[in-house]
Copies of this chain bind each other. A is one copy, B any other.
Amino acid sequence: MTEEIVVIPGDGIGQEVVPAAVDVLQATGVDFEFVEAPAGDHVAAEGGDPLPEETRGLAASADATLFGAAGESAADVILPLRDAVDSFVNVRPARTYPGVDALKPDMDVVFLRENTEGVYAGHESRLTDDVTTLTRVVSKSASARLAEYACEFAPEGFTVAHKANVMRESDGLFRDTVQAVAEERGVETETALMDALAMHLCLRPEEYEVVVCPNLAGDVLSDLAAGLVGGLGLLPSANIGEERALFEPVHGTAPDIAGQGVANPCATVLSAAMLLDYLDYDEEAQTVRDAVEGVLAHGPRTPDLGGDAGTEDVTGAIVERL
């Protein structure tokens, strides 16, 4: 069976790392067909919508989409794309690798970020010349759907991040719903205030394995974790919906190095491994992860990791190890 994958490189290094990940996917032997679609600043610059309706439509009907990055238009591209695949959770693993410098060498945490509401629901008003409001939305149904995913993902238990001492009703509903679903499923949970968690992740990351977060908390805590494992160059992510999914590196367009052929493709290749997992090519996914790990340990490495190899060298080395 041919697997049709929509591919949206976007802007900046997206144009370099997405083709790299496509090369790796092709080398796995799975029968893929790739449909490329445009999005991002370069489309807007030509007078188009940064997320053209056709691109949105392709993502909304494909089983799986691989996205790179978008520049200034990032929010206008990635948020509607996450919505197009009806993704309710953003899975963000943050781990260290042998051979890669990290502030916290023992970190291996997966953030399960609520992907539909919180401040991202984004109803804002300018009430007066002085005052603006934003209506943050938290629902029992979205919290429960996330919790069910979390119980499948982490049957051995997880941490629930929240700020219910201040956002009593809304984050209280989030925390209580997630814990109630977990209790029904016999899955253990502990809770953590998001501010305290930011500190504890710095001090004792080895105490955390899976952290279930409201949307913005997941955004911030996963970027913090990226800092602790040595930067965004290695962090993949998956936006999972009931029927489709979208995979993207956590990093952005890196305008300072774009076009030079030195971008680190690992985050996107690891996102492609999550795509393989999602489509049930578990063995191929593991092979890709092992290959990336081998290259990180033994080189070649791109400049962000202290090496002087280019994107193509690293990609070639990953493919060779498959």
Chain B residues contacting A165 (CB-CB under 8 Å) are 74-75
Is A246 positioned at the interface, with any CB of B under 8 Å from its CB?
no
- A135–B134 CB distance below 8 A: yes
CB-CB contacts below 8 Å: A187-208 with B = 194-196, 198-203
Binds B, one of A15-23, A41-49, A218-226, A285-293: A218-226
- Total identical chains: 2
Chain B residues contacting A221 (CB-CB under 8 Å) are 198
* Contact pick for A232, options B75, B137, B199, B232, CB 8 Å: B199
Contact of A194 with B220 at beta-carbon distance under 8 Å, contacts A119-B136, A135-B135, A199-B227 already known: yes
CB-CB contacts below 8 Å: A72-128 with B = 74-75, 79, 103-104, 119-120, 122, 124-126
- Interchain CA distance A203-B224 in the complex, whole Å: 10
Is A166 positioned at the interface, with any CB of B under 8 Å from its CB?
yes
Chain B residues contacting A26 (CB-CB under 8 Å) are none
Q: Which of A74, A103, A173, A202 has the most CB of B within 10 A?
A: A202
- B227–A119 CB distance below 8 A: no
Is A141 positioned at the interface, with any CB of B under 8 Å from its CB?
yes
Min CB–CB distance A224 → chain B (angstroms)? 4
Chain B residues contacting A167 (CB-CB under 8 Å) are 119, 122, 124, 134
Chain B residues contacting A14 (CB-CB under 8 Å) are none
* Contact pick for A132, options B133, B139, B220, CB 8 Å: B139
Is A282 positioned at the interface, with any CB of B under 8 Å from its CB?
no
Is A228 positioned at the interface, with any CB of B under 8 Å from its CB?
yes
* Contact pick for A202, options B103, B131, B169, B195, CB 8 Å: B103
Min CB–CB distance A170 → chain B (angstroms)? 4
Contact of A130 with B141 at beta-carbon distance under 8 Å, contacts A169-B124, A223-B196, A224-B224 already known: yes
Is A185 positioned at the interface, with any CB of B under 8 Å from its CB?
no
Give 9 CB contacts A-B under 8 Å.
Answer: A124-B168, A134-B167, A134-B170, A135-B136, A198-B220, A199-B232, A200-B227, A202-B202, A202-B227
Q: Which 8 A-B pairs have the closest CB atoms?
A: A202-B227, A124-B169, A199-B227, A198-B224, A195-B223, A134-B136, A132-B170, A199-B223
18 extra interchain contacts, Cβ-Cβ under 8 A, other than A130-B139, A194-B220? Answer: A79-B166, A119-B163, A119-B167, A124-B169, A125-B169, A131-B139, A132-B137, A133-B136, A133-B137, A134-B135, A134-B138, A134-B169, A195-B223, A199-B226, A199-B232, A200-B227, A203-B227, A203-B231
| Residue positions of A touching B, CB distance < 8 A | 74-75, 79, 103-104, 119-120, 122, 124-126, 129-141, 163, 165-170, 173, 194-196, 198-203, 216, 219-221, 223-224, 226-228, 231-232
